[in-house]
Amino acid sequence: MKPMRKLLLMVAVALLWHAGVMAQEPLFKYPVAPDTCSTLESRCDYIVTNFWENYDLTKPIKDEERFAKAFEDYVDFFKYANRTIVLSAIRSLMFKAQSNASNFAKIGALAERALYGENAVYWSDEAYLPFAEAMAGSKQMKKDVRNHYSAQVEKIKRNELGATMPQIEWTDAGGNRRKLAEVKATGLVIVLLTDGGMDSDMARLRLSTDVVINDMISQGEVAIVDITMGKADGAWMNKAKTYPENWLVGASSDLNKTLDVRFVPSAYIVDPQGKILNKNVSVESIKRAFGN
């Protein structure tokens, strides 16, 4: 390698390393697990338990961007830690955070974004519930804030995996009222939740042209119910007539109050007994599950 090119490469590497260090510089010193923690789980348990020891939650958060990054790092360890340890650590954090109402509210919002929102770092109802329940039960929070989290807690508990799917209703393209209990399949019922956007149109196209899924529908093993989350007005009814003929289609403006929907298009997967097997599933995940 020529001397000048070698020098330029060394400078580039140095600059990239410096940028990486600056980008990763934490707001405070994170705990380091001792050598006695010999497994990944035990090390993560230690870090989750002691994560906030070097940060004073009683004082106002001055650098909100770096605090948010620290919170995301904290949540990232949840994936590998023991669930009991995680839940205990969350409750401990929220108990300490009560000393500063502003910090408490910010942590609740960060938890919603990191664990519950559409772009969550780690989707986990179990980990999010202690945060949401603490926010919903805090007298320090305004009524509308408490109501916001209370509604989330109610929806999560009503739509837990393994629970019976809420008996939702919708209006079909002919103006008739239909119920989920009427839908039969020997294998799975896919409740596809959509809207009037292009992403939903693309989701319909991708699923309706899937050979494997269509074969399973024809055999009665799978049923797809496409429900638009909106009013069953004339414009929708006309468009719905163009949807796949082997699907059940409908519209309902009330589903968001009943179901725990994080994004659209997404799906609930329900077994023949009406139990929720999965929720907030993307079309890509459905196709992969069917081997496509």
> pLDDT of 217-259, one tens digit each?
999 999 999 999 999 999 999 999 999 999 999 999 989 889 9
pLDDT averaged over every residue in the chain: 91
- Any idea what the CATH number is for the domain that residue 197 is in? 3.40.30.10
With a cut of 90, say whether residue 266 has pLDDT above it.
Answer: yes
Q: Using CA atoms, how far apart are residues 96 and 232, in angstroms rounded to an integer?
A: 48
Q: What pLDDT is recorded for position 187?
A: 95
Note the pLDDT of residue 225. Answer: 97
- Given this model, what pLDDT does residue 248 score? 97
- List Cα–Cα distances, 145 to 101, 106, 138, 159, in angstroms: 12, 12, 10, 22
Of 123, 158, 193, the residue that ends a domain is 158
pLDDT of residue 118: 87
Q: What is the mean pLDDT of residues 184-212?
A: 96
Asked if residue 109 is part of any domain, the answer here is yes
Q: Is residue 250 part of a domain?
A: yes
Q: What is the pLDDT of residue 26?
A: 87
Q: How far is CA 172 from CA 66, 84, 180, 195, 204, in A?
A: 49, 45, 12, 15, 16
pLDDT band at 92 (very low <50, low <70, confident <90, very high): very high
pLDDT at 291: 82
Structure confidence at residue 10 as a pLDDT band (50, 70, 90): very low
In this predicted model, which residue has the larger pLDDT, 13 or 71?
71
148 shares a domain with 98: yes
Tell me: do 123 and 197 sit in the same domain.
no
Please tell me whether residues 173 and 284 are part of one structural domain: yes
If asked whether residues 51 and 141 sit together in one domain, one would say yes
* The pLDDT value given to residue 22: 39
pLDDT band at 14 (very low <50, low <70, confident <90, very high): very low
Domain boundary among 158, 183, 206: 158
Tell me which residue of 261, 253, 266 sits closest to 207, measured CA to CA: 266
| DSSP-derived 3-state class of residue 63 | coil
State how beta strands 276-281 and 266-270 pair. Answer: antiparallel
Residue 192 has pLDDT above 60, yes or no: yes
Confirm whether 2 is domain-assigned. Answer: no
Q: Is residue 215 part of a domain?
A: yes
Percent of the chain with pLDDT over 90: 86
pLDDT digits 0-9 by tens, 47-62 = 999 999 999 999 999 8
Place of tokens 């509604």: 151
pTM of the predicted protein model: 0.80
Same domain (yes/no): 139, 173: no
Kindly state whether residue 14 falls inside one of the protein's structural domains: no
As a whole number, mean pLDDT of residues 161-170 equals 94
Q: How far apart are CA 53 and CA 275, in angstroms?
A: 42
Inform me whether the pLDDT recorded for 12 exceeds 60: no
Q: What confidence score (pLDDT) does residue 24 get?
A: 57
- Is the pLDDT at 3 greater than 80? The verdict is no
Confidence of residue 23 (pLDDT cuts 50, 70, 90): low
pLDDT of 207 above 50:
yes
* pLDDT tens per residue, range 137-151: 999 999 999 999 999
The answer as to whether 42 is a domain residue is yes
Number of compact structural domains in the chain: 2
Q: How far apart are CA 67 and CA 280, in angstroms?
A: 28
The residue segments making up the domain with residue 103 are 23-158
